[in-house]
Amino acid sequence: MGDRFRRRFLDVLCSIYLYNEHRGYTAIDRMLTAIRSSWPDDQALIGLVERHRADERKHYLMFRRWFERRGVMPLDLDRAFGHIDRFVEIMFGSPIDDLPPELIGRDDLFERLCRIISLTEKRGHRQVEDLLRNAAVRDDSTLTKIFRVIEQDEPSHWAPYDGWLRDHGRRPPNWWEHLVDGFVHGELLAFKLPLLFLTPGLARRTAWPDQDEDACPPDTTLRAA
C-alpha cells in the first residue's frame, strides 16, 4: 500500500474514531444523569456504565495522542459521522443532545436506548476485529496497540445494557433495529468514509473537542497499551 494512500486512510479513519469516542463518553454522561435519577439504588448498573464511560474517554485520549505524535489535528467532523448520533436520530427522531435526562430515564425509552447502545458496541467490536487485519493498521504499531486495547475493552461495554434488558424482562433487538444498525454502518463505511478520503483540503479542528474539560493526564496511555 502506497505511503501517501496509507497515511490518508489512517488520517480519515482516526478522525472518525476520535469523534466517535469523544461522542461516546459525553453521551454516556447524559445517560448516567438519567440512571442516577431513575435508579439511584442500582449501584451495579451505575458502576458498569461509569466503567464504560471511562473506557470511551481512555480510547479518545489514545487517538488524541496518536494525532499529537503525528503533529496534525484531526479532520473537523460533525455528528453526520457519528454512529450513535445517526442511530439515535433515526430511532428517536431527535439528536441525542436534545433528549432530556428525564426522558432517557423513562423505562420505555431507556429500554430502546439500551438496545441501540448494545448493537453499536457489538458492531464496533466486529469493526475493530476487521481493522486489526487491515494492512495499513498493522503497519502502524501504535495504532495496532490502540485497537488491541479497544478490542479487549468492548465486550464489557454492551454487558450492562444487555443485563438491564434481561433483568427487566425486556426484549432483545428486533429485525428493524438490526437493519438500522446495518444501514448506519454501511452508510459510513461505503459512502462517508470514501467521500472524506477523496475530498482534498478538508478543514481540520483548531482545538481538541475536550479542551473545556479537565486537563488531559500525562502521556502514559499508549505506553500502558
Per the CB < 8 A criterion, the answer to whether 138 and 214 are in contact is: no
What is the reported pTM?
0.90
Decide: helix, strand or coil at residue 14: helix
Please check the confidence at residue 220 and state whether its pLDDT lies above 80: no
Exposure class string for 3-16: b at 16+ Cβ within 10 A, else e: eeebebbbbbbbbb
Would you list the domain boundaries of the chain? 3-205
Q: What value does the CA radius of gyration of the chain take, rounded to a whole number of Å? A: 18
Q: What is the pLDDT of residues 138-190, one digit of tens each?
A: 999 999 999 999 999 999 999 999 999 999 999 999 999 999 999 999 999 88
Please check the confidence at residue 84 and state whether its pLDDT lies above 60: yes
Nearest CA among 75, 52, 79, 48 for reference residue 63: 75
Residue linked to cell 423513562? 106
Q: In this predicted model, which residue has the larger pLDDT, 31 or 11?
A: 11
Confidence category of residue 214, pLDDT binned at 50, 70, 90: low
Nearest CA among 154, 177, 137 for reference residue 21: 154
- How far apart, in whole angstroms, are the C-alpha atoms of residue 45 and residue 51? 10
What are the backbone dihedrals phi and psi of residue 75, each rounded to the nearest 5 degrees, phi first? -65, 145
Q: Domain 3-205 carries which CATH code?
A: 1.20.1260
Burial of 103 (0-12, 13-18, 19+ CB in 10 A): middle
Residue 70 to residues 29, 47, 105, Cα–Cα distance (Å): 30, 35, 41
Please check the confidence at residue 10 and state whether its pLDDT lies above 70: yes
* Average pLDDT of the chain, as a whole number: 90
- How far apart, in whole angstroms, are the C-alpha atoms of residue 209 and residue 22? 7
Nearest CA among 153, 146, 125, 163 for reference residue 52: 153
- How far apart, in whole angstroms, are the C-alpha atoms of residue 9 and residue 12? 5
Q: What is the pLDDT of residues 14-25, one digit of tens each?
A: 999 999 999 999
Residue 222, pLDDT score:
53
